[in-house]
Amino acid sequence: MDVHVVVPDGIDDPGRPSGGNVYDRRLCDELGALGWAVKEHPVPGSWPTPSPADHAALGEVVAGIPDGAVVLLDGLVASTAPEVLVVGAQRLRLVVLVHMPLGGPGREAADDRRREGAVLAAADAVVTPSTWTRRFLLDLHGLHPDRVHVVEPGVDAGGIAPGTPGGGELLCVAAVTPLKGHDVLLAALAMIRDLKWQCTWVGCLDRDPAFVDRLRDLARELRIHDRVVTTGPLTGGGLGSAYASADLLVTASRAETYGMAVSEALARGIPVVAAGVGGVPEALGRAPGGNRPGLLVPPDDPAALAAALRVWLGQPDLRRRLRHAAGQRRATLSGWSATAERVSRVLAEFA
């Protein structure tokens, strides 16, 4: 069976990794392993803020797909283009994979909501990474519940991170942008500068250079610039090494539909302190027995985040309990083959 997959150009660019890109790549690979003939269509453009030329390129790609074909589209591209896809839905079977709703937190423009709603209403099915995202889209766009499916991202099993006695190796894995809340994290770290820690930031530094520069200036003003290390984006072995050296994953995101860095940390037995937004509580989950493998705090609250980090650093018994829960949660995580099997069942309805 054929499936045409429309993705942003550059999903394999190691300089711009993202959860959505990883999901797209691993899904294509695993669908191929399940027997699908995967025909990829990378579309150049500044998604999700495309130019008219970008929409024209997408239109050419869609026009070249044969009638009746099953088409899986990354929502970063699809949700911006009702002019192309509402008409295309009349002859194609469209399934849209929504990593981050364009009408969601951080992108509240009415035009974004209208355009995304038109595309999702025309699609045969919608796939989301979390129950939270599904509920959000149902409420926002009034979609039929039977057409919106939850398929959580998979994760690769990793070796257990050994940790350090003091728990002070903190790790944040996210592009350095306002949406990911690095300003909140920096303010929280300043509140615990009396404690022993180092925080490594892994992620793109070129999405919002002015924001990055402000953070660097602020870190110097707060006298913690020598304790916050920025590596830029890491993939493969470099990212694995960053996780292996960490005691705790910290994320202060203002919006997340899932939080793949959370599951990647848990796959190595690393506990998490995170802002409890969107799908993050689902990604964190619970260990068998009901214990959370981390701590959730309110978003946009540096004091609450600092208090959670102070508890982590100051209470060895708590660190042991959370590490134990993270190890238990690790055993419950699903791989990418399970993700692909669930998406495959959705696609097969239309093949």
Residue holding tokens 């018994």?
A: 317
Domain locations in the chain as residue ranges: 2-154+334-348, 169-330
Q: Do domains 2-154+334-348 and 169-330 have the same CATH topology?
A: yes
For residue 341, pLDDT over 70 is answered with: yes
* Structure confidence at residue 106 (pLDDT): 53
Least reliable range by pLDDT among 105-119, 229-243, 333-347 = 105-119
* Structure confidence at residue 107 (pLDDT): 55
- What tokens were used for 58? 């997408």
Q: What are the C-alpha distances in Å from 329 to residues 131, 269, 324, 344?
A: 19, 8, 9, 26
pLDDT digits (tens, 9 = 90+) for 235-263: 999 999 999 999 999 999 999 999 999 99
Average pLDDT, the chain: 95
- Whether the CB-CB separation of 263 and 186 falls below 8 Å is answered with no
- What tokens were used for 225? 């610039």
| 302 phi and psi angles, rounded to 5 deg | -60, -35
DSSP designation for 198 = E
User: Chain-centre distance of CA 18, in angstroms?
Assistant: 7
Residues 6+ apart with CB under 8 A from 323: 163, 269, 271
Which amino acid, residue 219? A
Tell me the average pLDDT across 213-242: 96
| Pairing status of strand 93-97 against strand 125-128 | parallel
pLDDT digits (tens, 9 = 90+) for 6-49: 999 989 888 888 899 999 999 999 999 999 999 999 999 999 88
Of the options 3.40.50.2300, 2.30.29.30, 3.30.70.250, 3.40.50.2000, the CATH number for the domain spanning 169-330:
3.40.50.2000
- Whether the CB-CB separation of 308 and 315 falls below 8 Å is answered with no
- Whether the CB-CB separation of 249 and 272 falls below 8 Å is answered with yes
For residue 325, pLDDT over 70 is answered with: yes
Question: Domain 2-154+334-348 has what CATH class?
Answer: alpha beta
pTM: 0.94
